[in-house]
Structure 1
Amino acid sequence: MIEHSKNHQDRLPQGEQPITEVEADRLDEDGRHAGWLVLTPNRIIFIDDEHDSGRHDDDIDHIDFQGADLTGDETVGTLAISWSDQGKVYEGSTIELRAFKAAIEDQLNP
């Protein structure tokens, strides 16, 4: 994995506070993109470390969230998140992604 930056919280939308976050790499047709998955009270955000403009970030409003599926082994997991009839796949620590998925479920189904 690529080393992640530490100033990712500066790029959250104004007024959003993180509930939890996990280092993850987004896997897509362009390859692997290092970043952070951040859960806030209103959205799930992927902050792409490779692009500071925010143009390559994912912003998933809780209203548009359709689901998250986790697969993997003891060390590397993949979390597929779908929203508004689209989706992305993120890779990271299975344990951390499992905790992140549980936090999503707790936030959306109190």
Structure 2
Amino acid sequence: TNLSSYVYNKLLQKPNDLTEEVIYSINLPSSPTPIVCLLIPGLLHGTHMERIQFWERNLSQVAIVILSAAVEKGNKSEEAQIQTAYEDIITKFKEIRQLYPNHHIMFLGWNVGCILALKAAL
């Protein structure tokens, strides 16, 4: 096995998560309830179900949690893939904004920060 899967499996075996202390120290505004959208790469959705359930369970104590699988698109240049992923994030934000116009919206996920940083760099 490679190092990342070894570390990931070790983290799953722990009775509590290393970030649990951080989760419970978050003070979010109570009104209106914030929206947290977890963007999950489509190919990882099934293999990381325990981790996804952990975040969904813990974040649902302080926010409305929406799961969204990002569709992976092959046969494109790296720049085109970044642009497509960026557009997907913007589209998902607009959809959530229409459903919850007065709520704070946060996007969390494997690729959100990376895609936005790459888009800004291009």
Fold-level match, TM-score > 0.5? Answer: no
Greater Cα radius of gyration, structure 1 or 2: 2
Q: Which has the higher contact order (CA 8 A, sep 6+)?
A: 2
Larger strand percent: 1
Larger helix percent: 2
Q: Tell me the TM-score normalised to structure 2 length.
A: 0.25
